[in-house]
């Protein structure tokens, strides 16, 4: 199977798994299950960065994904929102880990974790729903 087909199929699996895990993690946070929410968010953030690395690798293969011109604005929107969500999530994870290390730290991101968490998780879910649409566009 060519690398980009493999990448598309892997993307679909990751997108569906991530939608389920993100929704579950949000629920865990709402019910105050901090430890499991924490573990899941760290895991999801790490896998999301690995996914970006895989995307960059496949785009360097001889026959990368062919994107029709009319889809380009959508792909840009998808990518920009996805990056905002991922950079935001990474910042939230680091802020929390920092607070665990330096107990007295009083970071803005931690004080408003709930607000930012809701924004980034929503953008992240939007990106993954877009991922399902992309699969339909490219396969």
Q: At its nearest, how many Å lie between ligand HEM and the CB of residue 91?
A: 8
Q: Rule CB under 6 A: choose which of 6, 10, 17, 30 binds ligand HEM.
A: 30
**Is residue 63 involved in binding ligand HEM (CB under 6 A)?**
no
Q: How far is 16 from 84, CA to CA, in rounded Å?
A: 20
8, 18, 92, 109: which one contacts ligand HEM (CB under 6 A)? 92
| Cα(17)–Cα(128) distance, integer angstroms | 10
Nearest to 80 by CA among 126, 117, 116, 40: 126
Longest dimension (CA), the chain: 53
* Shortest CB 34 distance to ligand HEM, Å: 4
78 binds ligand HEM (CB under 6 A): no
Task: Confirm or reject binding of residue 109 to ligand HEM (CB under 6 A).
Answer: no
C-beta separation of 15 from 70 below 8 A = no
120 lines the binding site for ligand HEM (CB under 6 A) = yes
CA distance 125 to 117: 12
Which contacts qualify for 113-118: CB closer than 8 Å, 24 or more apart?
116/88, 116/92, 117/29, 117/92
Q: Which window, 1-9, 23-31, 51-59, 75-83, contacts ligand HEM (CB under 6 A)?
A: 23-31
* Residues near ligand HEM, by CB under 6 A: 26, 29-30, 34, 37-38, 41-42, 45, 89, 92-93, 96-97, 113-114, 117-118, 120-121, 124
């Amino acid at each position: 199977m060519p690398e980009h087909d493999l990448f598309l199929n892997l993307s679909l699996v990751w997108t569906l798994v991530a939608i389920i895990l993100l929704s579950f993690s949000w629920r865990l946070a709402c019910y105050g299950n901090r430890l499991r929410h924490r573990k899941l968010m760290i895991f999801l953030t790490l896998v999301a960065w690995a996914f970006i690395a895989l995307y960059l690798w496949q785009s360097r293969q001889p026959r990368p994904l062919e994107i029709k011109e009319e889809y380009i604005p959508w792909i840009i929107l998808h990518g920009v929102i996805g990056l905002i969500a991922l950079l935001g999530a990474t910042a939230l994870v680091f802020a929390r880990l920092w607070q665990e290390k330096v107990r007295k730290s009083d970071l803005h991101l931690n004080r408003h974790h709930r607000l930012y968490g809701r924004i980034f998780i929503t953008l992240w879910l939007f990106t993954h729903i877009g991922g399902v649409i992309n699969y339909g566009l490219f396969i």
